[in-house]
Amino acid sequence: MVSAPRYTRERIDTPDGDFMDLDWSKTNSPRVAVILHGLEGSSDRPYMRGIVNALNAANWDVAAVNFRGCSGEPNRKLLSYHSGATYDLKTILDHVFKSYDNVCIVGYSLGGNLMLKYLGEVGAEARVRSAIAFSVPCNLKASATQLAEKRNRIYMWKFLNALRAKVEAKASMFPGVIDASDYDDIKDFTTFDERFTAPLNGFENAEDYWKKCSCTQFLSSIRIPTLLVSAADDPFLADSCYPVKEAESSENFSLEIPRLGGHVGFHQRGRYWSERRVVDFLEENQVA
């Protein structure tokens, strides 16, 4: 069991009247890493705890993000967190930059896609020093198809079961807008994104959501040192989720594909190898 960091929670307001909770773990450092969790994650997931502890030990302050509705309390608005909600990452970073000049980002899975999309959108305007992501479904449609395969049924069931509580809570908050009565009929992300993710967040349909929010199309515009690490044996990632050509043609974006690691795994002798990789990469890319 990964020991829990000593978090101090801060609630920040979003421009649309909603909120997100940041869990801070500080060492009185002048530099900070903003950590973004994956689908149905939170600041309390073992991989989040582990990286917070590792960065604290390396003299980094850390802001562990809980996306909308992921901190144990439903968010106020119909809008939900999703793979392309870069407006929420902007809100978080604008807040963090009020206290720090030296800011880096670490993103896992969904949070990694969000981070890479954001960095490509802002390009040369990024104030972030460097960024690293793990296990990112860079092609959302291909990843949804991959997860729907029979061999991934247990993962699909776990995600849909976890998302049920949020959908049912929103149905209670917004009666007549959301209908969760036939939720058991949903068996994959194609149906889930078509029924909920897309309409609740302003997309025409699942295809529109996947097309606009997949991060691959934004990678060529990244202008800060950025690394993506995705294991070759990740069961969630299709071949098109490994942006090899984009990395080969970029001066700022690079890709590492370890043979083993699964999805947000990378265990080595009881520890997360990824924790050491994060610390090393962020230290290597500090401005003197």
pTM of the model: 0.95
267 is catalytic: no
Of 25, 135, 214, 263, which is the active-site residue? 263
DSSP for 179-221, please give it.
--TTGGG--SHHHHIIIIIHHHTT-SSHHHHHHHH-GGGGGGG
In terms of Cβ atoms closer than 10 Å to its own Cβ (0-12, 13-18, 19+), residue 85 is: buried
Of 25, 109, 130, 214, which is the active-site residue? 109
Q: In order of start, what are the domains of the chain with their CATH numbers?
A: 8-138+215-284 (3.40.50.1820), 140-213 (no CATH)
Of 190, 179, 249, 186, nearest to 219 by C-alpha is 249
pLDDT by residue (tens digit) across 75-104?
999 999 999 999 999 999 999 999 999 999
Phi/psi at 52 (5° precision): -65, -45
pLDDT by residue (tens digit) across 217-238?
999 999 999 999 999 999 999 9
Of 44, 61, 88, 234, which is the active-site residue? 234
Of 132, 143, 122, nearest to 255 by C-alpha is 132
Distance of CA 251 to the CA centre of its chain: 23
234 is catalytic: yes
109 is catalytic: yes
- Assess contact for 124 and 223: CB atoms under 8 A: yes
End-to-end Cα spacing for the chain: 36
pLDDT by residue (tens digit) across 156-202?
999 999 999 999 999 999 998 999 989 999 999 999 999 999 999 99
